[in-house]
Amino acid sequence: MLYQLHEWQRAFLGPMSYFAHASARMFSEPGSLLSQWPGAARIAAGCELMYRLGKDYEKPAFGIHEIRTAGRTVAVVEQTALELPFCQLKRFKRYSDDPAVIETMRRQPVVLVVAPLSGHHATLLRDTVRTLLRDHKVYVTDWVDARMVPAEAGMFRLDDYVAYVERFIRHIGADELHVISVCQPTVPVLAAVSLMAARGEETPRSLVMMGGPIDPRKSPTSVNNLATTQPLSWFEANLIHTVPANYPGRGRKVYPGFLQHAGFIAMNPGRHLDSHWDYYLDLLRGDLDDAEAHRRFYDEYNAVLDMPAGYYLDTISTVFQQCLLPRGLWEVNGERVDPGAIARGALLTIEGELDDISGLGQTEAAHALCTGIPAARHAHRVIAGAGHYGIFSGRRWRETVYPQVRDFIRRHAGQRARKAAIQRKG
């Protein structure tokens, strides 16, 4: 019923928000008579703020159309490499008409970025993907909003997430592949590669794990505490709702995006209030650059997706409450997850010094589990001054974190990628 009430509210606010947007334009456009009225700037700014607070936020586009690589600007085309009911495997294909550039790109390492299924869309990793494209062939998991998945597609649980990761690795080919997991997927990625190794399948050349809850018992944060202070029945009773009839996934049980968004805001309400007030002042002052930066951030931040209920509840129980992975007790479809079975490849873990979502030591715990990887192929980095988002987005990611990730991948790349790196240095 709560989901339906939200839809009624959305239907009610929709016309009002677009009226506010039109009013803001009428009171701000230079050619409009209304813009000459006394106080027009304040009216326009207030209406624009009302519009931003009331509008629907759809999934943003990645919007990556070109990048610089091998000293040239090359075109980028977003392609769907594999489509499954709950996720699309995206590839960002680079194109050039320069034979030397093509040869360099052909030899660069292949990277699979496993994006979180934790509220926001995979586009939250836009900066991650754009930066990686300088020196890598890049794939990314683009998770589908559960309300858009028809009920006949069945349930999606944490075990299914693990199976999806395995399938994506096999589809791309593990021989030249490096897997980067950001936050939540560090756990299912480690499980997927562990299971593949135990079966004797080929596994990726390296795993890069960033800010994830491998062992949430270490330096617990408010996120960890919430997951452990309430029983699983509380989450099911209070956070799980049914998709209403106006969506393809009608009847599906989900953790709705609007509830997740409310939780995001509740973590730092003062910060968001100050940000919106600053946005209003920027509009009054005519500071269009800062106002546009605010719009870009909240276009991404406010765009949320519904998570499948089974997957969300499994994650709460398996990852945070029972901590089955670090305890060596996790079974996926009857197979025991043993990270010690991974012998091929290398492991890099990255944590933010100020991460308030995955505390220090939670990601580093992967090293104690991956006993089959030789010590020389283990590496851990703590990024000074970085919060959770700073380790994969923004200036600190581009200037501090990425060079370390790039160099680690190069050291453990296949023969083709090593040749390409040598040529670039030459």
Residue-wise pLDDT for 141-159, tens only, equals 999 999 999 999 999 999 9
Bridge-based pairing of strands 241-242 and 110-114 is unpaired
* CA distance from start to end of the chain: 64
What's the DSSP call for residue 146? G
Residue 288, burial from CB neighbour count under 10 angstroms (0-12, 13-18, 19+): exposed
Q: Is 262 or 75 the better-scoring residue by pLDDT? A: 75
Q: What is the mean pLDDT of the chain?
A: 92
Q: Which residues pair with 120 in a beta bridge?
A: 304
Helices (H), 108-221: 126-132, 158-172, 186-198
**pLDDT above 80 for 263:** no
- Whether the Cβ atoms of residue 160 and residue 85 lie closer than 8 Å to each other: no
**pLDDT above 90 for 29:** no
**pLDDT above 70 for 422:** no
Residue 415, CB-side half-sphere exposure with 13 Å CA sphere: 0
Q: How many CB atoms lie within 10 A of CB 1?
A: 8
Name the pTM for this structure: 0.90
Of 357, 293, 39, 316, the closest CA to residue 158 belongs to 316
- Measure the CA–CA gap between 142 and 115, rounded to whole angstroms: 7
pLDDT at 426: 46
Rounded to whole angstroms, what are the CA distances from 119 to 227, 250, 261? 16, 19, 8
What does the block give as tokens for 403? 């060079």
Q: Quick one: what percent of the chain has pLDDT higher than 90?
A: 68
Helices (H), 304-377: 309-314, 324-327, 366-369
**Residue 179: enclosing H or E segment and its boundaries?**
strand 177-182
Residues of the chain with CATH 3.40.50.1820: 66-232+307-425
- Of 60-64, 230-234, 283-287, the range with the lowest mean pLDDT is 283-287
Q: Average pLDDT, stretch 415-424?
A: 51
pLDDT at 150: 95
**pLDDT above 90 for 237:** yes
Q: Is 386 or 263 the better-scoring residue by pLDDT? A: 386
pLDDT at 96: 94
- Of 212-221, 229-238, 286-295, 318-327, the range with the lowest mean pLDDT is 286-295
- Of 6-20, 67-81, 333-347, the range with the lowest mean pLDDT is 6-20
> pLDDT tens digits for 269-283?
888 888 988 888 888
Residue 245, burial from CB neighbour count under 10 angstroms (0-12, 13-18, 19+): exposed
> What contacts 281, CB < 8 A, 6 or more positions away?
none
- Measure the CA–CA gap between 216 and 357, rounded to whole angstroms: 10
**pLDDT above 70 for 72:** yes
Phi, psi (rounded to 5 degrees) for 102: -60, -45
Output helix, strand, coil percentages for the chain, rounded to the nearest 5. 50, 20, 30
**pLDDT above 80 for 353:** yes
> pLDDT tens digits for 156-181?
999 999 999 999 999 999 999 999 99
Phi, psi (rounded to 5 degrees) for 361: 100, -20
pLDDT at 143: 97
Q: Is 339 or 3 the better-scoring residue by pLDDT? A: 339
CATH superfamily membership of 66-232+307-425: Alpha/Beta hydrolase fold, catalytic domain (3.40.50.1820)
Cα angle, residue 196 at apex, residues 194 and 197 outer, rounded to 5°: 65
**pLDDT above 90 for 115:** yes
- Whether the Cβ atoms of residue 104 and residue 69 lie closer than 8 Å to each other: yes
Range ranked top by mean pLDDT from 69-73, 178-182, 356-360: 178-182
**pLDDT above 70 for 421:** no
Of 43, 3, 48, 2, the closest CA to residue 298 belongs to 48
